[in-house]
């Protein structure tokens, strides 16, 4: 998976090269030849026409949407075939209910949904449960930058943290989300 991180490029604030269609096309073509799983955020967030043209022109799946703010934007993305993989972020949207609605839309359009979650703790667990209800949600994109942003850190507040093995997090089957907050953490 390769993230071009062009989604946030609204001007000159983001350092580095801002991609145009040609660069996105050439990079996507080469990454596709290498068997890369997807190219994420190859163009600016609202370059819908160019994103749709790119997605129609390359074999590699195009992913994105973690910075888009409304269901109406995701509906437009689906209608225009902008992304093969939708990546809504509950902390950018109005919560996990909005992500659930986007998941239903993605299934209707035959697209994968792979939410992005930049937070931790309870939000990760809630996303995992939500994703388990979708047949078109193979993964959850998490920030895992050990030692500070590791899974161990994300789950440190739980009395019964989920087991993480080889990148997979097991669903807990206790009532609710299955987790209990460690009283020592609250104290």
pLDDT of residue 58: 98
For residues 22-39, average pLDDT: 98
pLDDT of residue 141: 87
Pairing relation of β-strands 164-165 and 168-169? antiparallel
Whether 33 is covered by a domain: the verdict is yes
Query: Residue 40's pLDDT band (boundaries 50, 70, 90)?
Result: very high
Q: What is the CATH number of the domain that holds 150?
A: 3.20.20.120
How many domains are there within the chain?
Answer: 1
Using DSSP's 3-state secondary structure scheme, residue 34 falls into: coil
pLDDT of residue 7: 82
Domain that holds residue 80: 2-8+18-186
Whether 13 is covered by a domain: the verdict is no
Give the pTM: 0.89
Whether 75 is covered by a domain: the verdict is yes
Return contacts of 130-136, CB within 8 angstroms, 24+ apart.
130/96, 130/99, 130/100, 130/103, 132/171, 133/103, 134/103, 134/106, 134/107, 135/107, 136/103, 136/106, 136/107, 136/110, 136/111, 136/112
């Amino acid at each position: 998976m390769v993230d071009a991180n062009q989604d946030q490029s609204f001007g000159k604030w983001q350092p580095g090269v801002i991609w145009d269609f040609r660069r996105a096309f050439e990079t996507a073509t080469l990454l596709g030849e290498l068997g890369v799983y997807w190219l994420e955020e190859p163009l600016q967030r609202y370059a819908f026409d160019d994103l749709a043209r790119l997605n129609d022109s390359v074999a590699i799946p195009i992913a994105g949407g973690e910075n888009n703010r409304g269901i109406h934007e995701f509906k437009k993305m689906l209608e225009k075939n902008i992304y093969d993989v939708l990546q809504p972020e509950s902390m950018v949207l109005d919560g996990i209910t909005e992500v659930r609605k986007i998941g239903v839309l993605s299934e209707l359009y035959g697209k994968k949904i792979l939410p992005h979650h930049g937070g931790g703790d309870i939000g990760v667990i809630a996303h995992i449960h939500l994703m388990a209800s979708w047949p078109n949600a193979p993964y959850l994109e998490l920030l895992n930058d050990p030692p500070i942003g590791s899974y161990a850190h994300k789950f440190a507040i739980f009395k019964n943290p989920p087991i993480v093995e080889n990148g997979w997090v097991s669903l807990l089957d206790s009532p609710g989300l299955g987790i209990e907050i460690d009283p020592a953490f609250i104290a």
